[in-house]
């Protein structure tokens, strides 16, 4: 690892080269020199992002066994499986910065790294699955699309893959809500109730207002982020309002109205005390989510151990077999083996 502050002439040159590359919109790759603060900032953000993907599996998985049809069940399983995949893309991208998977999981389990506060809210009804897909995945997409151009190559590449998969998440949620909204009176009310509960927390997903956001300015200078929290939040509101109208559902904010002058929807003030409370660990499900995650990790330990033991046994068997083969192998047989290996590599 390289010095934090560029003290020598060589370090200064490296820092200047880094700044120039970022300013020219070039991508930073794992083995490039980078300021220690840039590395730490990326690890923090990518870890939090990865943790959010896997913790986010919980509130939705809660409804898999109670999905109202086989179609909805298959869709929900595919979505939750995607979120596991997103977590894995991001963990391996974070690992390119010199942190290990175990360290990341350990920090999640011990609360030293965070995940998105949105997942500390409960999923009370089936309609919540729809509201999450439409609003939570929708907000995530708004956040994530600009991250596809993040200055750190592995993060940007992971985001491209994730964004491709996210649009199905949002659409299935919207379709689900639409079906409920057009259904019986009780179904419509259930959909409305879910939207009422998820709307404000979704707006909070963009993080605190720009003037209170601790990391925003530096992240933007480093081109990790491309837009401010408030800018992205506004973008999301502008997209969501007409979508809610098409759903036949209302948003729980009497201040929402089109502002001709700004060319945007105005919306009401967000209750940030709630946000900070949930962030501090006082949300409805903080305890439950982390306990469940730890339990899953502990209960899966025997699988990881068995797989490692099997791999070791196989490797030992492999190491012994060629020794015997060598004894009676002629040079031409060796050549054959090489050719075959080559073939195998080409399948």
Partner 1 sequence: MTQNWPLWEVFVRSRRGLSHTHAGSLHAPDAEMALRNARDLYTRRNEGVSIWVVPSAQITASSPDERDPFFAPAADKPYRHPTFYEIPEGVRHL
Q: Which residues contact partner 1 by CB under 8 A? A: 29-32, 78, 81-82, 85, 88-89, 92-93, 95, 100-102, 157-158, 161, 165, 301, 304, 307-308, 310-311, 314-315, 345, 347
Q: Which listed option, partner 1, Fe ion, none, makes contact with residue 86 (CB within 5 to 8 Å by class)?
A: Fe ion
Pick the closer one to partner 1 by CB: 165 or 210: 165
* Contact yes or no for 124/63 (Cβ under 8 A): no
Closest CA to 52 of 110, 4, 104, 116: 116
What's the CA gap between 94 and 155, in Å, rounded?
8
Pick the closer one to partner 1 by CB: 92 or 259: 92
Which residue blocks in the chain are alpha helix, DSSP H?
A: 9-23, 36-55, 57-61, 70-95, 101-109, 127-131, 137-144, 153-181, 185-204, 216-221, 229-247, 272-277, 286-299, 301-328, 331-346
What's the CA gap between 56 and 136, in Å, rounded?
10
Q: Which listed option, Fe ion, partner 1, none, makes contact with residue 308 (CB within 5 to 8 Å by class)?
A: partner 1
Pick the closer one to partner 1 by CB: 13 or 217: 13
Nearest distance from residue 86's CB to Fe ion, in Å?
4
* Contact yes or no for 59/124 (Cβ under 8 A): no
Closest CA to 135 of 182, 62, 203, 56: 203
Q: Which listed option, partner 1, Fe ion, none, makes contact with residue 137 (CB within 5 to 8 Å by class)?
A: Fe ion
Partnered with residue 325 across adjacent β-strands are none
Nearest distance from residue 145's CB to Fe ion, in Å?
13
Nearest distance from residue 145's CB to partner 1, in Å?
19
Nearest distance from residue 12's CB to Fe ion, in Å?
40
Q: Residues in the site for Fe ion, rule: CB under 5 A?
A: 53, 83, 86, 137, 166, 169
Pick the closer one to Fe ion by CB: 34 or 194: 194
Q: Which listed option, Fe ion, partner 1, none, makes contact with residue 102 (CB within 5 to 8 Å by class)?
A: partner 1
Q: Which listed option, partner 1, Fe ion, none, makes contact with residue 280 (CB within 5 to 8 Å by class)?
A: none
Nearest distance from residue 302's CB to partner 1, in Å?
12
Nearest distance from residue 133's CB to Fe ion, in Å?
8
Partnered with residue 257 across adjacent β-strands are 266
Q: Residue 41, class by beta-carbon neighbours within 10 Å (0-12 exposed, 13-18 middle, 19+ buried)?
A: middle
Q: What's the angle, vertex CA 58, arms to CA 152 and CA 124, rounded to 5?
A: 130
């Amino acid at each position: 690892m390289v010095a934090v502050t560029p003290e020598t002439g060589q370090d200064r040159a490296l820092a200047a080269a880094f700044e120039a590359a970022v300013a020219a919109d070039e991508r930073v790759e794992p083995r490039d020199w980078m300021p220690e603060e840039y590395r730490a900032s990326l690890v923090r953000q990518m870890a939090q992002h990865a943790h959010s993907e896997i913790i986010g599996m919980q509130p939705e998985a809660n409804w898999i066994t109670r999905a109202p049809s086989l179609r909805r069940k298959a869709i929900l399983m595919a979505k939750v499986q995607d979120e596991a995949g997103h977590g894995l893309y991001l963990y391996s991208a974070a690992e390119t910065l010199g942190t290990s998977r175990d360290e990341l999981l350990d920090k999640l389990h011990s609360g030293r790294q965070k995940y998105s506060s949105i997942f500390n809210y409960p999923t009370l009804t089936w309609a919540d699955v729809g509201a999450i897909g439409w609003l939570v995945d929708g907000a995530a997409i708004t956040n994530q699309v600009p991250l596809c151009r993040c200055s750190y190559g592995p993060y940007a590449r992971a985001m491209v893959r994730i964004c491709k998969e996210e649009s199905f998440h949002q659409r299935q949620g919207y379709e689900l809500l639409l079906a409920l909204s057009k259904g019986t009176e009780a179904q419509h009310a259930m959909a409305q109730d879910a939207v009422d509960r998820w709307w404000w927390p979704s707006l909070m997903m963009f993080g605190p207002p720009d003037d209170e956001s601790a990391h925003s300015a530096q992240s933007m200078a480093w081109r990790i982020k491309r837009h401010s929290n408030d800018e992205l939040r506004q973008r999301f509101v502008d997209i969501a309002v007409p979508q809610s109208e098409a759903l036949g559902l209302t948003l729980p904010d009497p201040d929402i109205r089109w502002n001709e002058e700004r060319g945007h929807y105005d919306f009401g003030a967000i209750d940030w005390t709630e946000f900070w409370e949930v962030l501090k660990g006082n949300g409805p499900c903080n305890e439950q989510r982390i306990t469940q995650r730890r339990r899953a990790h502990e209960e899966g330990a025997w699988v990881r151990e068995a797989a490692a033991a099997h791999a070791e046994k196989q490797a030992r068997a492999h190491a012994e077999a060629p020794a015997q083969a060598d004894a009676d192998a002629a040079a031409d047989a060796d050549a054959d083996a090489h050719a075959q290996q080559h073939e195998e590599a080409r399948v």
